[in-house]
Amino acid sequence: MTAPTAADKELFFGSRPIEDGLMQAELSVPGMKCAGCISKIEKGLSTLPGVVSARVNLSTKRVSVVWNKSDHEPPLIDALNGLGFDAHLSSAQERSEDNELRRLIRSLAVAGFGAGNIMMLSVGVWAGAGEEARALFHWLSAAIALPVLMFSGRVFFASAWTALRARSTNMDVPISVGVFLTFALSLYDTATGRPHAYFDAATSLLFFLLIGRTLDHVMRARAHSAISALQKLAPGGATVLHKDGSTEYLSIDDIEPGMLLRVAAGSRFPVDAVVVDGDSDIDVSVINGESSPQHVKAGDPVAGGSLNTTAPITARATASEKQSFLADMIRMMENAEGARHQYRRIADRISDLYTPVVHLGALIAFCSWLAFAGDLHRAVAVAVSVLIITCPCALGLAVPMVQVMAAKRLFRAGVMIKDGAALERLADVDTIVFDKTGTLTTGMPRLANENDAGMRALNVAGAIASYSTHPYSRALAQASRLSPHIRLEANQVAETPGNGLEAEIDGVTYRLGRPDWAVTLPAKQDADEKSCVVFSKNGELVARYHFEDDARPSARTVIQKLNQCDFYVLMLSGDREPAVSSFASRVGVSSWQANLRPAEKVKQITELTASGRKLLMVGDGVNDAPALAAAYASMAPGSATDIGRNSANFVYLNDDLNNIPLTIETARRAKTLMRQNIAFAILYNAIAVPIAFLGLVTPLIAALAMSASSLVVVLNSFRFGGDTQRITNLKKRRDLTKSLLAQTQAQTQ
C-alpha cells in the first residue's frame, strides 16, 4: 500500500469516528445547483473503494461521506474534481454568504439593459432603415451584445464548461450552445452584409433565463440550514478547575471527559456533564421543549447546551464536544436535511430528459438540412432556431413564478415560505404532527387553581413572586391582585437557588417554592412537585398553587378541521404523560406520545415516513429542530426559537394555527398551477419544434416564440391572485349556485 498523501492525512484528521471502524467526512461543494448534481455526486462517490455511503445536502452545498477506516482513505476531493466540482473539507465554523444571488442579480441587470437597447436598435431595422443605417445598427448591437454575453452569459457558460470537462451534460449546455451559435451566426451575417442579425434574440434569451434562475435561487436560498444557529448554543469554551485549585479558560475543543467545569449563572454548559457541587435551576428546553426549569443538584446529569439560570455550579464533563448531546442534535439535523433534499422538484425531474432530446433534435435538424439543401448557413440557422425555440425559459419560469405568487398570497396571511421545494411537498402531506408546548399551547404557565386559596394569601405570594424571573413566579405575580398595603423592599426578599423565595414581613417568615423546602412543619406533601408550588407561613402550609399551559385559542378548531379533511393528527411532546394526556383530550387529539427526547421524535417521524406517510411537522423549540428537518415538510410559529424558525420550511408570524390549513390549501393550488405551466411548456415544444425543424422560423422568430411562451406561463401564474376570503366567497357562491340549479331541476322534473 502506498504511503498516505497530504490530502489523505487531511481527510483522516478532518473526519470523525462514528461506529464499527467507520469515519464520516463533511465536504463543501459550492458548485452544486440541482437534482442532477445530487445524483451525479452520490453515484460518483459511492463507487470509490472504501466509501460506505454518500449523501448530499443541497441547501448547505455539503456532502456527508461515510468511509471505512480499515481501507485506504478514499480520494474524495479528486473524485469530485473529476466530476466537475470544486470541493474542500467543510468546517463547522464556516459561514456562507450568498454571493451567488448578488452575481445573478448583477447578471440579470446587465442582460436586461443590453436586451432593451438592442431591441430598440432592432426596431430601427424593422422600420425599414437603409442599408448603411442597418449595418450600423447591427454593429452597434454586436458591440452591446458581446460584453452582455461575456458578463451575463458566464452564469450558464461556466456551468456548461464544467459539465463538458467532466464528459457529462446539463441544461446549461444547450442554452450555452444556442446563445453562442446565435451570436456567432449574427456576427457572420453582419460582417458579410446580410440583412438579418439576431443579437436581440441572444440577449433576450439570456434575460428571460436569468429571471427564472434568479427566482429559483431565491426560493432555494430560503431553505438555508439552522445548523449554524444550533452551534451558537454551545459557548466557545468554559472555565476549568484543575486539581491544584487553579482555574483556566479552555476552548470547547480542548475540554475532555473528566475535567471539572465551573458554569456561572446565565451561562450554558459547553458539553454533557454531571453536577459535582451546587444547586440551581436549569433551562432544559433544548432537550424537551418545556419552559419550566429543571432543578439539579450534585449527581444530576446535564446535557450540553442547557442554560444555568440561578446559581453557579461545578460539574464534571462526561463527553467531549464532538460526542455531546448538542453535537448529536447537529448531526441529526444534517442527516435529516440531507434526506429531505433528496426530494426532486417537478422541473428538476423533467430536466433529465430535456438536454439529450434538445441536443439530438438540433443535431438531426442540422444534418438533415445540410444533406438535403447543401447550404451550411441555412443548416446552422435552422439548428440555432431549434435550440432557441426549445430553450427552457417557460420551463424555468413554470415553478418559480408560481412559488412567488404563492409566497405573496401567504405573506398577506402572515406566512413566510423559506423553501420553494417544500411548497410542492406540502401539497402531498397526509399526516400532521404537532409539538405541544409553544405550538398548540401559549408556552407560558398559568395559575390553574386561583380560587382554591384565599385572596390575601395569593396577594402576598404574588408580591414575593414579583422578585423572581422563574416562569411560575411570573404566573403568580400576574394572577395576584396586589393590595395597596403590600409593599416589599428588595432586601426583604431572598431567593434560594433551586428552592424558592423567602421573605420577612412584620416578623413573619414566608416561603414560596418547592414543597420539601417551604414546608418544615409536619404536613401532607404534594406528590407532583414539578407542577406544584407551595406557599408557607413560618414553615406551615398556607396554599398549594398548580399551573397549566393554556391552549392557543384556535387549537381545537384547527384540529377538528384537519380531522374533517382526513389528516392523521399526532402530538409528540417532551412533557410528562399526565399533562400531555389531559391537554390532548382538551383539544381533540386522539393520538399522542409523551416524554420524548429529540432523537425519539426523529425516530417516530422516520418510522412514520418509512410506513409511507408524508408528514407535516409543526414545532417551535430547539428540541424540535431535528424533527422539523426530518419531516417531509415543516412549519413553525413566529414565536418559535431562532433555531426552530430556521429549521422550518414555513413560518406563520401571527401564531394563528388557522394558517396551517390555509398553507396546505395554497400549496395544493400552487402544485396545480405548476403542473399546468409545465404541461403548457411541453405542449409548446411539441408544436414549436416541428415548425423550427422545417425551417419555417428564423432565430429571431424563435426567440419571440420562446418569449411568448414564457409570457403565457407568467400570466397563468398570476391566476393565483386573490386573497383567501375572496376564494372562500367564490367557493360559497359556486356551492350556492349548484344548490339552486339542483333545486330548479328537481322542480322541473
Catalytic residues: 435
Task: Return the DSSP state at 345.
Answer: P
C-alpha angle 687/692/696, rounded to 5°? 110
**What's the grid cell of residue 66?**
461515510
Give the type of residue at 701: I
Q: Distance between CA atoms of 190 and 144, rounded to whole angstroms?
A: 14
Give the type of residue at 600: E
Assign 431 to helix, strand or coil: strand
Q: What are phi and psi of 237, to 5 degrees?
A: -175, -165
Pair 362, 174: CB distance under 8 Å: yes
Chain-centroid distance, C-alpha 73: 33
Q: Distance between CA atoms of 289 and 435, rounded to whole angstroms?
A: 9
Residue for cell digits 407535516?
Answer: 616
Please report, for residues 226, 388, 606, 610, 635, the alpha-carbon distance to residue 615 in angstroms, rounded to integers and kept in the order given. 20, 41, 10, 11, 11
Pair 678, 347: CB distance under 8 Å: yes
Please report, for residues 53, 259, 306, 614, the alpha-carbon distance to residue 323 in angstroms, rounded to integers and kept in the order given. 21, 15, 15, 31
Q: Hey, how many other C-beta atoms are within 10 angstroms of the C-beta on 185?
A: 22
Chain-centroid distance, C-alpha 214: 18
* Helices 659-693, 555-564: inter-axial angle, 10-degree rounding: 50
Dihedral class, residue 414 (left if φ above 0, else alpha if ψ from -120 to 50, else beta): left
Assign 637 to helix, strand or coil: strand
For β-strands 441-447 and 650-652, DSSP reports them as unpaired
Q: Distance between CA atoms of 499 and 281, rounded to whole angstroms?
A: 9
Write the DSSP assignment of 641-658 as a string of letters: -HHHHHH-SEEETT--TT
Q: Distance between CA atoms of 305 and 324, rounded to whole angstroms?
A: 9
Pair 406, 720: CB distance under 8 Å: yes
DSSP strands (E only) in 284-364: 294-296, 301-302, 307-308, 313-317
